């Protein structure tokens, strides 16, 4: 490169923007990953489309779920605004302390999910109540001046100087800088509202539909994380200006509302007029998300029981975050389309038929390799088997047919699953699980009717009283109504027949009851006076009761439950038995777990104790529990330190290290300098020890000189 | 008239004399600094500011809470005393000497005819600012060579202010609390007779005076509940003279107010609405009614483990959490000083290692040491259920304290433990240390 400089020196040349490296599109990754099959781009497109749909659905769902609480919050804010405006100078309002209206919004501990709620809240506010709303987070407000600065900046849209600022921050904000105090905000608010009032002569409403003096809403997103001092001071200051500024606070609370009282002393909390708003619990939220995204035949992409179990257990055990659950779902989706070439068939009806036609020879081979397809082939006639194994076109035809079958299976599966759940969800002790997802998982994994839980559930169902049973059946009928397949329609028909027959029983029951009364054993009992005779009759009665003729209701009940049992047996078979299920079902739960629930410490330990695992070098392959002497220095040092106690003598450690390394160099064990420490080894040793220290396995100690302390426990 | 109101507000003759002698000869130099202290809502700011306004004396009133930096304080003072131009003369990040320099500069142009007053509310916050600020302000008169007096208002006594390097001693003035009789004579309601109102206040004080002397708060409560008090009168069920009936009507209501609206469990708006709706039975849900916190499964166990680690002596861990521990002699099990209840002493800090060791032994299944388990610990810290102690050595051995109560832990362990014995074991562990 040429420079115009005459002197020698270092010059920096920034690459010109034209020569920038071509950025790799995301879809390229799909193609590069499996370059042997050409449908990478199509899979990527299908995946993208599916994800867009899922994302949109979850957003809509979120909005629906939050609708109620946000609406009541908005009402509260509107009410407060009106009370600001209609402030009168009567006796009571003069006497009353001026309080800042505050909404305590209890959202649960799933903090990552709150962002979405706050986003829609501030959108709603901006649209309908006030243009002046700010949200602040604890991490950006460590001191009072930061908090003030954020609030003022976001409201007024100008740079606000905090005195200790660096000079350079002013460069980005060329506007007039103002000092950071609420009195500045007051003046600004007065001018802004005056402008509004000038523009619209109509006194009550300005042109945007906002009230004449819109309130200033300050949202504290994570109330608990704020420094209590900062909050207290801020509230004290705001309270001084409440007569000039219509301020409203919203506290986003993750734990319980009583934290307000823990964080703020009475002298400060008495300046607030706190009203409580509670959102839906996150478990309910998850149930709805699963209901809408997983338990539906709408999406061709499915999860196997194990994968779903991983996602649900991360939710229940670790974070309670619905957003993370959906992210996990996204990861599964991506992984599936990335790793399974046949996922090109995992799409809507028309598209799938089209894609099946286009399958290449390699793809067809892959179809033949699928375990489910092989099982399918085995069940066919010999002639058909030959056809399937030789003709590609025939396989394509069969694929289309099988995919159709799979779609039908899903269309029948979900309604029946819901029916079974609605029947068993109210049973005592919930033998098949309280939540539908539990039932779903057990159905995915095995034949549910072979489990003990199913048996006990059925037994309990056979004891149900009539009105309960009929109510449950009605619910089932409601679930089956939207079903479009033939089987569902006929099932619905039969179910309705049963319900009608139950209703007809009402008329009959009186006659049957009167018939039974004649044989009522109570009367015979009184005749017997002999104790022995009595015992005998009682025993007889017990026996006869067992074989007693069942009432028509009982017969009908059994018949109905047998019918339902039949439905379960025919439709709730595990998907693994369905041919071509691999196309739609994502099954690698291990991959998902490794990605979502990472164990950094275990990985480091694996890397150190089994270097082969990551380096894939044949020389490093050893038996369990030993480390090859050719392993990297840090592995040897790590291995040696495992054999020590809490305090490690550095010199002994060095000696041991030198011996091991000498063996690796292939030196003669009897030679004089075998195991001697030279400068190179010394340096290598010191470097690996400091690496171990960096990883947090050892640290220097003051207890003994030339020793280090171990920070992990347990031997080799 | 306001002046009369001020004299009503003032509690003793002594303070009245002091103030009037201080403020009534503005042409002469005033005492350089005056320190006024008294409890909340004893009328300090109100009296001073009304007097200054009434006497039309030049003054600057600044609340120290608002001044996030000393510069803001200087700016506001100059702004109020000399107008906007003078404040612009201050450089960025002004120090006390800058302030003095600018003050002298503008003061030379506008020499004082009367004493200028600088009133600093919540002066206790001055102590946290630069060390030279408070002593400097106390002798500002001397520094700027002008007829200026600084009035400091605070709820804290002067002894807590005195810097250890010594300073100019201000004139001390105490505003004592209002007596019961004084409060009775302060207010009146325009639509009712003074006798009725003062009998109402008397009842109110009977309930609240033992817990609250804050005039502002008492007035607030009086305003909130007065309509309820008047209800029988409006309905014609009682006459003004029938104090007993009025008392019977209002007393339980006030007692309930003390438990709810006074503690801000229920907001004043909700309280007012409840009165109007006449629905006595439907008690409003207070803030602390919803103390239950839903936590992820492992977070619950982490919290239990943290509680055990905070309140159990570390020596006893072996006995509680190792299955085949060696025998410990009963007498030597707890040392003498450990027999005093640990709950009285409060939580003790514990290292992360110990927390995890207890966690792994308490939780039923095998738990992999995943990143999410560790991140749950830090989210418990941000939720203020745990607190991190100390700042050194954060990487290797962070230390924590458990910040939740026994009841909270008992509630959690009840819903976490499926089997009764496990619960018993946990509660036993907890009980042993009480």
- Say if residue A327's pLDDT is above 90: yes
Average pLDDT over residues B293-315: 87
Domains A58-162+172-280 and A600-710 fall in the same CATH topology: no
Would you say residue A526 has pLDDT above 60? no
What's the pLDDT at B4? 59
Higher per-residue pLDDT: A37 or B136: B136
Name the pLDDT band for A204 (thresholds 50, 70, 90): very low
Q: What percent of chain B stands above pLDDT 90?
A: 16
Q: Do A255 and B293 touch (CB under 8 A)?
A: yes
**Least confidently predicted of A379-393, A565-579, B242-256, B262-276:** B262-276
Contact residues on chain B for A90, CB-CB shorter than 8 A:
none
Task: Name chain A contacts of B191, Cβ cutoff 8 Å.
Answer: 91
> Residue A22 has what DSSP assignment?
P
Q: Do B220 and A275 touch (CB under 8 A)?
A: no
In this predicted model, which residue has the larger pLDDT, B241 or A596? A596
Q: Considering only CA atoms, which of A287, A570, A280 is closest in space to residue A436?
A: A287
More confident residue, A523 or B85: B85
Q: Please answer yes or no on whether B294 and A281 come within 8 Å at the CB atom.
A: yes
pLDDT at position B11: 63
How many CA atoms lie within 13 Å of A690's alpha carbon, on the beta-carbon side? 5
**Separation of alpha carbons A631 and A634, rounded Å:** 8
- Record: contact A92-B223, CB cut-off 8 A: yes
Q: Which residues contact B393 (CB under 8 A, 6 or more apart)?
A: none
Mean pLDDT over A589-607 rounds to 88
Confidence band (pLDDT; 50, 70, 90) for A609?
confident
Superfamily of domain A600-710: Stn1, N-terminal wHTH domain (1.10.10.1080)
- Given strand B59-63, what is the order of strands in its sheet? B59-63, B116-121, B148-154, B33-37, B171-174
Residues 246-265 of B with CB under 8 A from A: 263-264
Q: How far apart are CA A175 and CA A164, in angstroms?
A: 18
Q: What is the DSSP letter of A700?
A: E
Whether the CB-CB separation of B401 and B307 falls below 8 Å is answered with no
Higher-scoring residue by pLDDT: B89, A12: B89
pLDDT tens digits along B138-163: 989 999 988 899 999 999 999 988 88
Residue B392: pLDDT above 90? no
A58-162+172-280: CATH topology: Rossmann fold (3.40.50)
- The vertex-A675 CA angle with A673 and A677, nearest 5°, equals 85
Cβ contacts of A318 on chain B, cutoff 8 Å: 296, 298, 370, 372-373, 376
Pick from A148, A282, A315: CB nearest B68: A148
Comparing B188 with A204, the larger pLDDT belongs to B188
Residues of chain A numbered 420-479 and touching chain B (CB < 8 Å): none
B370 part of contact set with chain A, CB < 8 Å: yes
Q: A232, exposed or middle or buried, with CB in 10 Å at 0-12, 13-18, 19+?
A: buried
Structure token digits, residue B30 = 């005033």
Residues from chain A contacting residue B379 (CB–CB below 8 Å) = 109, 111
* pLDDT value of position A165: 42
Q: Is B122 exposed, middle or buried (0-12, 13-18, 19+ CB in 10 A)?
A: buried
**SS3 of A104, please?**
strand
Residue A277: list chain B partners with CB under 8 A: none
Confidence of residue A149 (pLDDT cuts 50, 70, 90): confident
What is the predicted pLDDT for the residue at B357?
87
Give me the count of residues in chain A. 716
pLDDT at A544: 64
> In angstroms, what separates the C-alpha of B21 from chain A's closest C-alpha?
30
Instruction: With CB atoms and an 8 Å threshold, state whether B384 touches A224.
Output: yes
In chain B, the residue whose alpha carbon lies closest to the alpha carbon of A698 is B396
Q: Hey, are the CB atoms on B297 and A319 less than 8 Å from each other?
A: no
Report how far residue B249's alpha carbon sits from residue B254's, in angstroms, rounded to the nearest whole number. 10
A696: closest chain B residue by CA:
B396
Count of Cβ atoms closer than 10 Å to residue A65 Cβ: 18
HEC letters along B53-87: HHCCCCEEEEECCCCCCHHHHHHHHHHHHHCHHHH
pLDDT digits (tens, 9 = 90+) for A411-436: 999 999 999 999 988 888 888 888 89
State residue B234's pLDDT score: 83
B186: chain A residues, CB-CB within 8 Å: none
Contact A366, A344 (CB under 8 A): no
More confident: A162 or A321: A321
Using CA atoms, how far residue B360 sits from A600, A674, B320, B365, in Å, is 18, 45, 13, 8
- Closest Cβ–Cβ partner in B288, B292, B396 for A261: B288
pLDDT at residue number A200: 53
Q: Give mean pLDDT, residues A149-176.
A: 57
- Comparing alpha-carbon positions, the chain A residue that sits nearest to B95 is A163
Using CA atoms of A642, A645, A647, A650 in order, give the dihedral in degrees to the nearest 10: -50
The reported pLDDT for the residue numbered A714 is: 61
CB proximity A183 to B under 8 Å? yes
Among residues 256-295 of chain A, which lie with CB inside 8 Å of chain B? 256-263, 266-267, 269-270, 272-276, 278, 281-283
pLDDT value of residue B396: 63
* Whether the Cβ atoms of residue A304 and residue A585 lie closer than 8 Å to each other: yes
The whole-angstrom separation of Cα B31 and Cα B34 is 7
Residue B364: which pLDDT band, with cuts at 50, 70 and 90? confident
Contact A163 B298 (CB under 8 A): no
- Of chain A, the percentage scoring pLDDT greater than 70 comes to 84
Q: Does B223 touch chain A (CB under 8 A)?
A: yes
Q: Is A180 on the interface with B (CB under 8 A)?
A: yes
pLDDT of residue A523: 47
Residues in chain B: 434
Interior/surface letters A149-176, b for 16+ CB within 10 angstroms, e for the rest: bbbbeebbeebbbbbebeeeeeeeeeee
**Any B CB within 8 A of A177 CB:** no
Report whether pLDDT(B348) > 60: yes
- Distance between B226 CA and the closest CA of chain A, angstroms: 9
Chains A and B form CB pairs within 8 A to the count of 164
Which A-chain residues 73-102 have CB contacts (< 8 A) with chain B?
Answer: 83, 91-93, 95-97, 99, 101-102
Give A537's pLDDT tier (boundaries 50, 70, 90): confident
Indicate which of B269, B368, B393, B418 best probes the interface with A, i.e. most A CBs within 10 Å of its own CB.
Answer: B269
Query: Tell me, what's the pLDDT at A209?
Result: 54
Nearest-Cα distance to chain B for A401, in Å, is 44
All residues at 6 or more sequence positions from A443 whose CB lies less than 8 Å from its CB, including other chains: A413, A417, A572, A574
B261: confidence class by pLDDT, cuts 50, 70, 90: confident
Cβ-contact B291, B323 below 8 angstroms: no
pTM to 2 decimals?
A: 0.82
Q: DSSP E strands: which ranges in B110-261?
A: 116-121, 148-154, 171-174
Best mutation site among B73, B372, B407 for testing chain A: the one with the most A CBs within 10 Å?
B372
Report the percentage of chain B scoring pLDDT > 70: 83
- Does A513 have pLDDT greater than 90? no
Q: Could you tell me where the DSSP H helices lie in A481-632? A: 486-518, 522-527, 531-546, 552-571, 581-584, 589-596, 600-609, 611-615
Q: Is B259 left (phi over 0), alpha (psi -120 to 50) or beta?
A: alpha
The nearest alpha carbon in chain A to B190 belongs to A91
User: Does residue A194 carry a pLDDT above 50?
Assistant: yes
| Pairing assessment for the beta strands A647-649 and B33-37 based on DSSP bridges | unpaired
Ramachandran category for residue A63: left, alpha or beta (phi over 0 → left; psi -120 to 50 → alpha): alpha
What are the domain boundaries of chain A? 58-162+172-280, 600-710
The string of pLDDT tens digits covering residues B173-225 is 888 888 888 887 777 777 888 888 888 888 888 888 888 888 888 888 888 88
pLDDT band at A88 (very low <50, low <70, confident <90, very high): low
- What is the overall mean pLDDT for chain B? 81
- Strands, DSSP E only, in A137-265? 160-161, 178-179, 216-220, 247-253
Q: Say if B88 is an interface residue toward chain A (CB within 8 Å).
A: no
Return mean pLDDT, chain A: 83
What pairing do the DSSP bridges indicate for beta strands A647-649 and A707-710?
antiparallel
Q: What is the percent of chain A with per-residue pLDDT over 90, rounded to a whole number?
A: 26
pLDDT digits (tens, 9 = 90+) for A367-376: 888 999 999 9
Note the pLDDT of residue A24.
Answer: 61
pLDDT for A38 equals 66
- Confidence band (pLDDT; 50, 70, 90) for A282? confident
Q: Which two tokens stand for residue A641?
A: 């330190």
Pairwise CA distance, residues B227 & B222, whole Å: 9
Task: Give yes or no for residue A688 having a pLDDT over 90.
Answer: yes
**What pLDDT does residue A82 have?**
85
Mean pLDDT of all residues in A554-558: 88
> Distance (Å, rounded) from C-alpha A625 to C-alpha A610?
9
């Amino acid at each position: 490169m040429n420079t115009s400089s005459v002197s020698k020196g270092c010059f920096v040349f920034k690459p010109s923007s034209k020569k920038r490296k071509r950025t790799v599109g995301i879809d390229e990754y799909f193609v590069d990953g499996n370059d042997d099959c050409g449908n990478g781009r199509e899979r990527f497109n299908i995946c993208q489309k599916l994800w867009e749909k899922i994302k949109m659905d979850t957003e809509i769902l979120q909005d629906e779920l939050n609708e109620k609480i946000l609406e009541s919050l908005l009402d509260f804010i509107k009410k407060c605004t009106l009370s600001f405006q209609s402030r009168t100078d009567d006796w009571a309002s003069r006497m009353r302390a001026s309080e800042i209206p505050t909404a305590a919004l209890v959202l649960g501990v799933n903090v990552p999910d709150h962002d979405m709620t706050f986003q829609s809240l501030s959108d709603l506010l901006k649209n309908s109540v006030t243009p002046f709303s700010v949200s602040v987070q604890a991490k950006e407000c460590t001191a009072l001046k930061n908090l003030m600065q954020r609030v003022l900046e976001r409201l007024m849209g100008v740079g606000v100087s905090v005195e200790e600022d660096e000079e350079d921050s002013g460069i980005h904000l060329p506007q007039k800088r103002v000092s950071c105090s609420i009195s500045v905000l007051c003046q600004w608010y007065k001018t802004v509202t005056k402008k509004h009032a000038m523009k619209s002569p109509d006194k009550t409403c300005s042109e945007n539909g906002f009230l004449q003096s819109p309130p200033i809403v300050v949202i504290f997103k994570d109330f608990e994380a704020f420094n209590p001092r900062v909050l207290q001071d801020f509230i004290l200051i705001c309270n001084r200006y409440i007569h000039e500024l219509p301020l409203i606070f919203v506290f986003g609370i993750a734990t319980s509302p009583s934290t307000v009282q823990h964080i703020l002393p009475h002298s400060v909390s008495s300046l607030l007029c706190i009203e409580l708003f509670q959102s839906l619990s996150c478990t309910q939220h998850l149930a709805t998300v699963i209901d809408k995204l997983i338990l539906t035949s709408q999406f061709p992409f499915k999860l196997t029981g194990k994968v779903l179990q991983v996602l649900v257990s991360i939710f229940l055990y670790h974070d309670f975050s619905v957003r993370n659950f959906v992210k996990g779902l996204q990861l599964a989706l991506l992984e599936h389309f990335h790793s399974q070439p046949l996922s090109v068939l995992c799409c809507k009806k028309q598209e799938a038929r089209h894609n099946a036609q286009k399958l290449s020879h390699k793809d067809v081979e892959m179809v033949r390799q699928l375990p489910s397809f092989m099982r399918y082939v085995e069940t066919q006639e010999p002639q058909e088997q030959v056809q399937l194994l030789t003709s590609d076109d025939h396989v394509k035809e069969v694929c289309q047919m099988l995919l159709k079958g799979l779609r039908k299976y899903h269309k029948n599966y979900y309604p029946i699953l819901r029916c079974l759940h609605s029947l068993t969800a109210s049973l005592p002790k919930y033998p098949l699980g309280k939540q539908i997802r539990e039932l779903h998982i057990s159905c995915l994994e095995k034949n549910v009717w072979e489990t003990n839980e199913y048996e006990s559930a059925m037994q309990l169902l056979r004891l149900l009283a009539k009105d309960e049973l009929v109510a449950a059946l009605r619910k089932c009928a409601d679930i089956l109504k939207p079903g479009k397949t033939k089987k569902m329609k006929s099932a619905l028909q039969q179910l309705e027949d049963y319900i009608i027959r139950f209703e007809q029983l009402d008329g009959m029951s009186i006659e049957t009851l009167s018939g039974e009364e004649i044989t009522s054993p109570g009367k015979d009992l009184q005749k017997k006076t002999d104790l022995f005779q009595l015992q005998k009759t009682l025993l007889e009665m017990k026996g006869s009761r067992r074989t007693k003729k069942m009432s028509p209701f009982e017969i009908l009940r059994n018949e109905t439950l047998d019918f339902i049992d039949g439905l379960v047996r025919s439709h709730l078979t595990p998907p693994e038995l369905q041919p071509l299920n691999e196309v739609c079902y994502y099954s690698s739960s291990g991959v998902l777990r490794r990605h979502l629930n990472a164990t950094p410490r275990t990985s480091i330990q694996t890397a150190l104790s089994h270097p082969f695992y990551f380096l894939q070098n044949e020389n490093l392959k050893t038996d369990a529990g030993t480390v090859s002497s050719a392993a990297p220095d840090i592995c040897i040092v790590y291995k040696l330190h495992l054999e020590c106690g809490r305090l490690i003598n550095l010199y002994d450690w060095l000696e041991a290290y030198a011996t091991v390394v000498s063996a690796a160099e292939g030196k003669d064990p009897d030679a004089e300098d075998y195991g001697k420490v030279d400068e190179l080894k010394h340096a290598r040793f010191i470097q690996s020890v400091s690496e171990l220290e960096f990883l947090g396995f050892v640290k220097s100690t003051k207890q003994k000189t030339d020793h280090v302390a171990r920070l992990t426990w347990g031997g080799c | 008239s306001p002046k009369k109101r001020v004299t009503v507000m003032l509690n003793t003759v002594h303070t009245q004399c002091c103030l009037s002698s201080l403020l009534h000869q503005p042409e002469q130099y005033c005492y350089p600094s005056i320190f006024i202290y008294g409890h909340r809502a004893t009328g300090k700011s109100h009296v001073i500011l009304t007097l200054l306004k009434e006497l039309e004396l030049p003054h600057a009133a600044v609340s120290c809470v608002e001044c996030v930096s000393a510069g803001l304080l200087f700016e506001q003072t100059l702004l109020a005393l000399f107008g906007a131009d003078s404040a612009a003369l201050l450089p960025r990040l002004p120090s006390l000497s800058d302030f003095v320099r600018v003050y002298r500069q503008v003061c030379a142009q506008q020499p004082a005819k009367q004493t200028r007053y600088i009133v600093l509310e919540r002066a206790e916050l001055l102590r946290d600012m630069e060390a030279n600020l408070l002593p400097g302000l106390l002798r500002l008169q001397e520094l700027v060579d002008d007829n200026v007096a600084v009035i400091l208002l605070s709820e804290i006594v002067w002894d807590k202010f005195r810097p250890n390097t010594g300073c100019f001693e201000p004139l001390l003035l105490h505003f004592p609390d209002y007596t019961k009789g004084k409060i009775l004579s302060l207010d009146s309601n325009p639509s009712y007779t003074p006798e009725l109102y003062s009998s109402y206040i008397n009842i109110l004080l009977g309930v609240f005076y033992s817990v609250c002397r804050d005039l502002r708060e008492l007035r607030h409560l009086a305003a909130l509940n007065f309509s309820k008090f008047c209800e029988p009168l409006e309905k014609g069920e009682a006459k003004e003279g029938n104090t007993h009936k009025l008392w019977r009507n209002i007393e339980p209501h006030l007692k309930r107010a003390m438990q709810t609206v006074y503690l801000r469990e229920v907001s004043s708006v909700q309280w007012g609405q409840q009165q109007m709706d006449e629905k006595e039975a439907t008690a409003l849900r207070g803030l602390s009614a919803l103390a239950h916190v839903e936590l992820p499964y492992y977070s619950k166990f982490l919290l239990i483990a943290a509680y055990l680690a905070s309140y159990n002596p570390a020596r006893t861990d072996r006995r509680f959490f190792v299955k085949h521990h060696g025998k410990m002699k009963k007498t030597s099990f707890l040392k003498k000083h450990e027999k005093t209840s640990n709950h009285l002493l409060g939580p003790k800090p514990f290292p992360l290692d110990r927390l995890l060791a207890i966690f792994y032994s308490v939780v039923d299944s095998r738990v992999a040491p995943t990143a999410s388990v560790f991140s749950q610990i830090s989210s418990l810290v941000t939720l203020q259920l745990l607190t991190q102690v100390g700042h050194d050595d954060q990487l290797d051995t962070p230390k924590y304290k458990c910040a939740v109560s026994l009841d909270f832990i008992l509630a959690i362990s009840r819903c976490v433990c499926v089997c009764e014995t496990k619960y018993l074991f946990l509660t036993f562990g907890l009980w042993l240390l009480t």
